[in-house]
């Protein structure tokens, strides 16, 4: 972990986390590619990263059919949906939000167009409509906060004020909020309030990475997955 953060400021070093899952996951919108990684500083997203569950063939779902091309798809057909999400560091739970529905998934361009046009309306509805179900952990000894976002409705296994340990199951992956297919969104921030938080740099410790196009994985002691890389705990 880094040294103590002054109020509302970024640390000198990145906050180092463990990957918040087991199994194989694909890195999307990685800050290793660009900052802000999600194209905006809104809601503390400057250094955020998305992880999409995959199988050993890098597939995100167990099938492709007419729905994949023309319509929405059940979230349950995606490998990420329902996978356990783990605490990426020791800390105290300071905020949880549950009750947002898990949407149907959208890979079809026909279904993505109207969804994109609804982005502004979702933003006006507030944090829950964008983040979906989420939890926020105050990290020990750093003054920073980590948010785990788009969690499965009804899966949150911890409450505000509860201490968590690295690797502890805290929820399941879902497709709630502003999400087109099941995935977990991870970000570190300087505030527990998503409406005003500013993003803080982060890195992950001791993970195996298969960069896009690579057949062999390599163990990295610390860093950020490259865009399109598959990662797992080493």
Report yes or no on 7 lying in a domain. Answer: no
Does pLDDT of 118 surpass 80? no
106-128 residues labelled b (16+ CB within 10 A) or e (exposed): bbbeebeeeeeeeeeeeeeeebb
- 3 or 106, higher pLDDT: 106
Report yes or no on 27 lying in a domain. Answer: yes
Report yes or no on 10 lying in a domain. Answer: no
Domain that holds residue 89: 15-233
Residue 164 contacts residue 143 (beta carbons within 8 Å) = no
Q: How confident is the model at residue 68 (pLDDT cuts 50, 70, 90)?
A: confident
Which residues, in sequence order, are CB contacts of 41 under 8 Å at separation 6+?
198, 199
Report yes or no on 3 lying in a domain. Answer: no
Alpha carbon distance 171, 120 (integer Å):
28
Report yes or no on 144 lying in a domain. Answer: yes
Ramachandran category for residue 228: left, alpha or beta (phi over 0 → left; psi -120 to 50 → alpha): left
Alpha carbon distance 175, 183 (integer Å):
7
Alpha carbon distance 54, 45 (integer Å):
23
Does pLDDT of 70 surpass 70? yes
Q: Mean of the per-residue pLDDT values for the chain?
A: 91
CATH number of the structural domain spanning residue 143: 2.70.70.10
Report yes or no on 2 lying in a domain. Answer: no
Residue 74: CB atoms within 10 A of its CB come to 13
Does pLDDT of 115 surpass 90? no
**Residue given tokens 């050993």 in the structure block:** 56
Mean pLDDT, residues 68-88: 95
Q: What pLDDT, on the 0 to 100 scale, is given for residue 128?
A: 82
Report yes or no on 173 lying in a domain. Answer: yes
Alpha carbon distance 72, 61 (integer Å):
13
Q: How many domains does the chain have?
A: 1
């Amino acid at each position: 972990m880094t040294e103590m953060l002054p109020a509302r400021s970024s640390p000198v070093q990145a906050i180092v986390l463990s990957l918040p899952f087991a199994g194989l996951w694909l890195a999307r919108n990685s800050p290793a590619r660009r900052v802000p990684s999600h194209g905006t500083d809104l809601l503390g997203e400057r250094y955020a990263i998305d992880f999409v569950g995959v199988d050993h063939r890098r597939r995100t779902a167990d099938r492709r059919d007419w729905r994949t091309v023309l319509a929405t798809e059940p979230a349950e057909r995606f490998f990420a949906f329902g996978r356990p999400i783990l605490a990426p560091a020791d800390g105290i739970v300071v905020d949880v939000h549950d009750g947002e529905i898990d949407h149907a998934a959208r890979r079809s361009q026909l279904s993505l167009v109207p969804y994109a046009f609804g982005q502004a309306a979702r933003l006006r509805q507030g944090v829950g409509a964008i983040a979906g179900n989420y939890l926020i952990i105050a990290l020990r000894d750093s003054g920073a906060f980590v948010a785990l976002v788009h969690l499965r409705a009804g899966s949150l296994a911890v409450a505000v004020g509860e201490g968590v340990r690295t690797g502890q199951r805290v929820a399941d992956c879902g497709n709630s909020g502003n999400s087109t297919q099941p995935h977990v969104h991870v970000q570190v921030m300087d505030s527990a309030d998503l409406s005003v938080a500013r993003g803080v740099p982060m890195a992950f410790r001791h993970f195996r990475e298969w960069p896009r196009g690579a057949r062999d994985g390599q163990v990295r002691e610390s860093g950020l997955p490259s865009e399109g890389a598959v990662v797992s705990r080493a």
